[in-house]
Amino acid sequence: MKAARDAHSVALVINAGARLAAAGPEQALGKLQKAGLPISSVHYVGTGTELTGALDRVLAAEYDLVVVGGGDGTVSYAAGRLAGTGTVLGVLPLGTANDLARTLEIPSGLDAACTALADGKVVDIDLGRANGEPFLNVASVGLSVGVTESLSPRLKRSLGPLAYGVAAVRAYARHKPFRARLEFPAGDHRTLELENMLQVAVGNGRHYGGGNAVSPTAGIDDHTLDIYAIAGAPLREHIRIARMLKDGSFVERDGVYHLTTQQHVRLVTEPPLPVNLDGEIATVTPTDFTIERNAVHVVVPHHSNAARLDG
């Protein structure tokens, strides 16, 4: 299958709790059908258990294409279930940050996203795993977990992507430094011992946190995990780093460690910490991070250059 229009059977799975889902899931169904996609199964889910059940059913039915509407956490979980099955993933960005859609150059508006999906091409992208749990964008510990915990549904509904900035200020005020150790079992780097850390992140894709970039060179199909670690510093230095998050150039600052691996990295922290996977707290440290190359077949707009290295 090289394009969405090649699909003979399509299932639509929508997270009804996503920030933009209430604006019209029926509209998405109608627009996709009008565009020529043969959608024969529709599932509205409200919990993780319901999402798991819906994906179990569509996988058992062997649909060619599964369109998932929701935020990054919903889409990443679905990608983890679809990886290696041959079923193609379609993405409707209905969340707050929609960083995967930004990486894949999928339009943010519902009309444009449906059109781009119906007319789109199929490419391969990598999938990250953290203790076996899937992520497409970034996995992280430290400040980002505090940001996620501060992002209430009410705050996201009222402020949209601006809620990330408000949550970051709140989380920064409460942050407690931690120790971290980065181990590379394949031997491609020496073990790195880190003190007084603000955040450690492992990126599979390019964007996270409402449009920030993991690094200037990060890509979702380069078979590479980008690792960065930001140490504690005076507030003025962290403000300088924050101003460089959008293009990823912050990794070049003193006090920021940046490494890449195409193998395996293990993160150990003291104390043990929860790990944020694409906006969902899904595991704890110590954490083993690996990458599955070309694991997910996904529809992107014809003009997208996000998967230039697909295999």
Domain-located, residue 209? yes
Kind and range of the H or E run holding 298: strand 287-300
Domain-located, residue 306? no
pLDDT tens digits for range 204-263: 999 998 899 999 999 999 999 999 999 999 989 999 999 999 999 999 998 899 999 999
Same domain flag for 64 and 143:
no
Same domain flag for 61 and 100:
yes
Q: Which range of residues forms the domain containing residue 242?
A: 133-293
Domain-located, residue 161? yes
C-alpha to C-alpha distance for 24 and 251, rounded to whole angstroms: 40
Same domain flag for 216 and 161:
yes
Cβ–Cβ contacts within 10 Å for residue 122, how many? 20
Sign of the CA dihedral 267, 273, 277, 278?
negative
Domain-located, residue 221? yes
- Reported as a pLDDT band with limits 50, 70 and 90, residue 111 is confident
Same domain flag for 151 and 251:
yes
pLDDT tens digits for range 127-179: 999 999 999 999 999 998 888 777 766 776 677 777 777 777 888 888 899 99
CATH of the domain at 235: 2.60.200.40
280 a catalytic residue: yes
The structure tokens listed for 187 are 């031997």
Is the preceding omega at residue 234 within 30 degrees of 0, hence cis?
Answer: no
Residue 1 Cα to chain centre, angstroms: 24
User: Which of 50, 62, 133, 280 is labelled catalytic?
Assistant: 280
Q: Are 96 and 19 in contact (CB under 8 A)?
A: yes
Same domain flag for 104 and 179:
no
- Percent of the chain surpassing pLDDT 90: 69
Cβ–Cβ contacts within 10 Å for residue 284, how many? 14
Task: Indicate the pTM of the whole model.
Answer: 0.91
CATH of the domain at 108: 3.40.50.10330
Same domain flag for 105 and 210:
no
Domain-located, residue 54? yes
Same domain flag for 109 and 240:
no
Q: How would you class 116 by CB atoms within 10 Å of its CB: exposed for 0-12, middle for 13-18, buried for 19 or more?
A: buried
Domain-located, residue 61? yes
Is a pLDDT exceeding 50 seen at residue 266?
yes
Same domain flag for 175 and 265:
yes
How many domains does one find in the chain?
2
Q: Which of 37, 83, 74 is nearest to 52 (CA)?
A: 74
Same domain flag for 108 and 164:
no
pLDDT of residue 162: 76
Same domain flag for 149 and 56:
no
Same domain flag for 61 and 160:
no
Domain-located, residue 309? no
Q: Are 283 and 76 in contact (CB under 8 A)?
A: no
Domain-located, residue 17? yes
Same domain flag for 20 and 104:
yes
Residue 80 Cα to chain centre, angstroms: 11
